[in-house]
Structure 1
C-alpha cells in the first residue's frame, strides 16, 4: 500500500485532476491519498491571527480543512472513496478502490504533539503511513523539488513541515518528495509493482 499526499497548493492547479485521475487508473486497491490543507488551512491561519484562539482549535479546524480538500478531490474524480479511519481505508482498498483520507478522527479535545503549526498534513501523512504499515509515502508539492534532496533541507526551505523528518526518521517505508510535474514517475512506479 502506498500513501500519496497531494499538497493543498495544487487545489487550483490543472495538475490536480491529472494526479487524481492517474492514481485512480493505476492505484486501485493500493493507494491512499492524503489531502493537504491548501486555501482552507490558510483561512484558519487568518482566523487565528484575527481571533487569537489556541493551536488546539486551529488543529481541529485544519483537519476540517483537509476534509474539505478531500471532498473536493472526490468531486473532481467521483470514483475515489472518502475514508475517515483505518477500517474504512482498508475496506476501500479491499474493494479495489483508491481511498482519500478524511482525517476528522484526529480531532483532539486536549493539546498533544500534533496540535501545532509545525505539524502539518505532511507529518500527518507520515503518521498515517506508519499506522497503515505502508510501503511508500509520496509527498507531492506544487514547486520543483530537487531529486534526493535531504528532508531537513526541504523543511528549512518551507517545502516540508518542520516535524516531517523526525516523523519518518525510523520509517520502514520509502519516502519520496515529488513535484507536480512528476505524475509520470508516480504512474510508472505504480505500474512496475503491479500485482
Structure 2
C-alpha cells in the first residue's frame, strides 16, 4: 500500500486532475490519498490571526480543511472513496478502490503533539503511513523538488512542515517528494509496484 499526500497547493492546478486520474486508473486497491489543507487551511490561519483562538482550535479546523479538500477530490473523481478510519481505508482498498483519508478522527479536546502549526498534513500523512504500515509515502508539492535535497533542508525552508523529519526518521517505508509535474513518474512506479 502507498500513501500519496497531495498538497493543498495543487487545489487550483490543472495537474490535480491528472494526479487523481492516474491514481484512479493504476492505484485501485493500493493507494490512500492524504489531502493537504490548501486554501481551506489558509483561512484557518486568517481566522486565528483575527480572533486569537488557540492552536487546538486551529488544529481541529485544519482537519476539517483537509476534509473539504478530500470531498472536493471526490467531486472531481466520484469513484474515490472517502475513509475516516483504518477499517474504512482497508475496506476501500480491499474492494479495489482508491481511498481518500478524512482525518476527522484526529480532532482533539485537549492539546497534544499534533495540535500545532509545526504538524501539518505532511506529518499527518507520515503518521498515517506508519499506522497503516505503508510501503511508500509520496508527498506531492507544487514547488520544485530536487532529487538529492535532504529532508532537513526541505523542512527548514518550509517545503514540508517542521515535524515531518521526526515522523519519518525511523520509518520502515520509502519517503519520496515529487513535484506536481511528476505524475508520469508516479504512474510508472505504481505500474512496476510488486503485487502483494
TM-score category of the 2 structures, normalised to the smaller one: over 0.9
Superposed counterparts of 1:47-126, under 5 Å: 47-126=47-126
Q: Which runs of 5+ in 1 are unaligned?
A: none
CA separation in 1, counterparts of 2:132 and 2:148?
A: 24
Runs in 1 of length 4+ with deviation above 6 angstroms?
none
Distance 1:53 1:79 in 2: 37
Aligned to 2:129: 129
Map of 2:183 onto structure 1: 183
Within 1, Cα distance between the matches of 2:56 and 2:80?
A: 30
Q: After superposition, what is the alpha-carbon deviation per residue over 1:112-145, rounded to whole angstroms, capped at 9, x for unaligned?
A: 0000000000000000000000000000001110
How big is each residue's C-alpha offset from its partner over 1:26-65, in whole Å with a ceiling of 9 and x where there is no partner?
A: 0000000000000000000000000000000000000000
Separation of aligned partners in 1, 2:121 and 2:5: 8
The equivalent residue for 1:150 is: 150
Deviation at 1:193, TM superposition (A): 1.2
CA RMSD across the alignment: 0.6
Length-normalised TM-score, structure 1: 0.99
SS at match of 1:190: helix
- Indicate the residue corresponding to 1:140 in structure 2: 140
Aligned residues: 195
- Residue 194 of structure 1 and its aligned partner are, at CA, apart by 4.8
* Counterpart residue number, 2:21: 21
